[in-house]
Amino acid sequence: MSEAVNEQVPAASRARSSTFYLAMRILPRAQREAMFEVYSFCKAVDDIADGDALRPWRREQLALWRERVAALYAGEVPDGLAALARAIAQYALRQEDFLTVIDGMEMDAVEDIRAPSFDDLDLYCDRVASAVGRLSVRVFGLGETDGIALAYHLGRALQLTNILRDIDEDAAAGRLYLPREALQRAGIDSTDPQTVALDPRLGQACEMVVERARKHFQEADAVMARCSRRQVRAPKMMEAAYRRMLEEMVLRGWASPRNRVRVSRSHLLKIALRHAII
């Protein structure tokens, strides 16, 4: 996506394909619209990082987004970003969090990630997921301490679940996000994505990531238990959907070939109904 967000396409429409769409829909109008704008920004930079264009072009486009973010905080509104500017002003969204998201996308744009260390994977999760969480919790209205803690744990839990869900899709694109320590503990020496995806010992490596995701979900639960139920309706929906996905993957197992686990729309609607009425 080489241009700024097209305001002719409503932000709600751009977010409609997201697993988080229903969680955003239950928010009051102002919060909902702000979250759609945050999602649109994230989708724009993610499309660049995951695109097929040459890497120099991708880095150039991400650099342009850095300039757009800088302009927003300098009081200038680039074309297509007026609604995002309003969300930034209304909810005091921080420039550093937008830039951190771009940092994460740049990690994918510079080179294909293959078997990072746990530390590098954690940095990646912070940039592409927890930084988005730090923007989101300000929209949700959480206090500073609990908001930062929730973004830290829930962002990582969601991203680790994504990594487990997308092993085959990522391998087809030449990427492998499973940490090298988990692979080595399972006795897997290769870092070739396709080789690892077909290795019968893959489940042992995945189990380490599953346990880490579960711990982050538990910590996120502890944070949300301290918060107003109304403030955490949306993140509770996000957590419920992804926790269901994680446990269904565990039940399915990791043997190849794997069916990609999805949370059905009917189940998402049940989750939405459970949390929408408070």
Domain 112-278, CATH number (from 2.40.50.100, 1.10.10.60, 1.10.600.10, 3.40.50.300): 1.10.600.10
Provide the mean pLDDT of the chain.
Answer: 91
Q: Average pLDDT for residues 49-55, to the nearest whole number?
A: 94
pTM as predicted: 0.91
Q: What is the share, in percent, of the chain residues with pLDDT greater than 70?
A: 90
Place of tokens 């932000």: 11
User: What are the boundaries of each domain within the chain?
Assistant: 1-94, 112-278
Kindly state the tokens that stand for 214. 């579960």
pLDDT at 263: 81
pLDDT digits (tens, 9 = 90+) for 153-193: 999 999 999 999 999 999 999 999 999 999 999 999 999 99
- With tokens 């973010």, the residue in question is 69
The closest of 109, 99, 107 to 66, measured between CA atoms, is 99
HSE (side-chain half, CA atoms, 13 Å) at 54: 3
Q: What is the pLDDT of residue 21?
A: 79
